[in-house]
Structure 1
């Protein structure tokens, strides 16, 4: 089966990295290509290096309607059996282009859909109406968590058009022998200019307001003040992996609080598993997530994790992730919890059951079966149906 994935952009965000993982683990019976509407970034380069054809449609903005005939032509000429879209803009244009090109099986994964926010932007009546109109042009919508499935249900998307298929994580990539991990940690810290003896609070994600990384700067300031009073404590640093519009605000805030010299912003990186080895704890203060992939990555890397939202863990029993602690999204809560970790002995934690539950190989196999069913190929049956709350449609 020949599949075209259509995505809004290919910078190193959660949805983009998830697409890269899926393409590396899908069974060989599915031949995949990718079309990016705009911004072919580090993920595009990684896909190309892996031999996945990437088509850059050079869309100039949300209202660049010229992308529609280009995408329609690509789908028609490529003779794809199925189109799979990712993210809001790609879902709008990809579903319509597939319909115009005569491709009926169209799958759309909802990576970042909340009741009132989609991909960090408010859901206005116009945005919602346009979304629902486009959804009807497809055949199936994939929800990455029960939270997303519930939102789709509330919006009126019929349950029979929704499949629950979570994101996945490449667990094997994080499993390193102790000596290898120690050497990698030392090398990464040297490359980044982090002191080998530092105690590093890590954060991963796009630098946007919803991630609330600004909450961690006063935490760093308070830990720095405490370190000056207690020389036995390790020097605190804040390492943030990601790019986005909040970069300048974070730097300004750190300067105002006198901890600019302790804040390191790496920008967009494709080597997140390696960078996690340089951290002592992962902090994820975002108040709203549709899945919480970064939390799972931190757990897979053996880090203690402090987070404020992770639907992926909410769907599992507490013992599935003993290294993760949920906190209120306040600087005071993070300061108190991180101080406890800071004063204790650091140790690499074993991968918890939650990590194995979301192994990308299992998720990719389930997606392949869904492709088979939608495309008419023989398979073992449908993916897991999204649950519908009592009394709903």
Structure 2
């Protein structure tokens, strides 16, 4: 019987976008690989590729009844299929999945930190609560991996330590063949822009991420309001997590409905980045953001927040600009520099591509 690994993520897009390449590799090496995540469109796509998928709802918020139900369902599933390894990803799936796996007697429990849930700027009570949960969870985890080097340092200072050794820094990466600006001729770039109704010569500002407050979409809208005297159009890409109504109301109040397109989740990310001139990620918390890596691989200048994860990808004033979280004025200033200087955009974008290669 083939050794069996089950990956647990909160939503399917994490499994499909971040884990698919490594899971294909492990399958080629003779392992059986499956997934557990909340009902998601990606479930059918992964099944079509031959991966077993079990959909169990995992609430993104803390909900005792919902979380208990998810743990029970996962426990029963693990007891039934008897995996050798359960590998969890992201904070919430990491708690639910690790508790269920340990209760089910799974021999090895592995967790990848995609950014700790606590961060500077959040209320201290909440910060300490999340930090303590991470300490408890580490105590039932055999091996912990981290995409961010800073998170490894933080874990050491805060006593977040797995049962075997310390956190292991693994970084993050993307397929440089898929994310290669050289694949796109001027005509292909124009075709993508025309499909998005981008006006000729208007710079395109793009942000990719789950639509919630933590990602900083509201800060970007406010920053865009401050540069509305300059031609540009913006693309917001990602699934809604209950913040879309608030976001659209803010866009309307700022008078930007005709300049910002909210596209929802998309599967053609490299095409959309090929049509982009500036990439922005004004997030309050990240692990090692894949979207910034993809953007720099596509030779785009980036504006991001000066937080752990983002500052590991963006080289300040070389491949883009870093601003403080929540500082929409600094964000608008960085955007204004790039919008008014095509040469700077080109220079920073080329440096970003060189750094990713």
Scaled by the length of structure 2, the TM-score of the pair is: 0.83
Deviates more, 1:15-24 or 1:104-113: 15-24
SS in 2 for 1:63: helix
Distance in 2 between residues matched to 1:119 and 1:54, nearest whole Å: 35
Distance in 1 between residues matched to 2:198 and 2:125, nearest whole Å: 38
SS in 1 for 2:28: coil
SS in 2 for 1:261: coil
Q: 1:51-130, aligned counterparts within 5 Å?
A: 51-58=50-57, 63-64=65-66, 65-116=68-119, 123=126, 126-130=129-133
Deviation at 1:295, TM superposition (A): 1.6
Unaligned runs of at least 5 residues, structure 1: 228-234, 357-393
Deviation at 1:130, TM superposition (A): 4.1
Cα distance change, pair 119–85 in 1 and its aligned pair in 2 (3 A):
farther
- Corresponding residue for 2:236? 240
Any runs of at least 4 consecutive aligned residues in structure 1 with deviations exceeding 6 A, and if so which? Answer: 117-122
- Corresponding residue for 1:50? 49
- Corresponding residue for 1:385? none
Matched, 1:325 2:321: yes
Q: 2:7 aligns with which of 5, 15, 20?
A: 5
- Corresponding residue for 1:373? none
- Corresponding residue for 1:258? 255
CA displacement 1:234-285 (0-9 Å, x = unmatched): x311211113333222222222222211111111223222211121100122
Deviation at 1:58, TM superposition (A): 4.0
Scaled by the length of structure 1, the TM-score of the pair is: 0.76
Deviation at 1:174, TM superposition (A): 1.0
- Equivalenced residue count is 342
Supply the RMSD in Å over aligned alpha carbons. Answer: 3.2
- Corresponding residue for 1:162? 167
Cα distance change, pair 120–298 in 1 and its aligned pair in 2 (3 A):
farther
Distance in 1 between residues matched to 2:26 and 2:307, nearest whole Å: 25
Unaligned runs of at least 5 residues, structure 2: none
SS in 2 for 1:336: helix
Q: 1:192-341, aligned counterparts within 5 Å?
A: 192-225=196-229, 227=230, 235-244=231-240, 245-309=242-306, 311-312=308-309, 314-315=311-312, 318=315, 322-329=318-325, 330-341=327-338
Paired residues of 1:82 and 1:106 also in contact (CA < 8 A) = yes
SS in 1 for 2:150: helix
Where relative contact order (Cα < 8 A, 6+ residues apart) is larger, the structure is: 1
- Corresponding residue for 1:388? none
Matched, 1:174 2:175: no
Deviates more, 1:94-103 or 1:77-86: 94-103
SS in 1 for 2:306: coil
Paired residues of 2:118 and 2:131 also in contact (CA < 8 A) = no
Paired residues of 1:42 and 1:269 also in contact (CA < 8 A) = no
- Corresponding residue for 1:19? 19
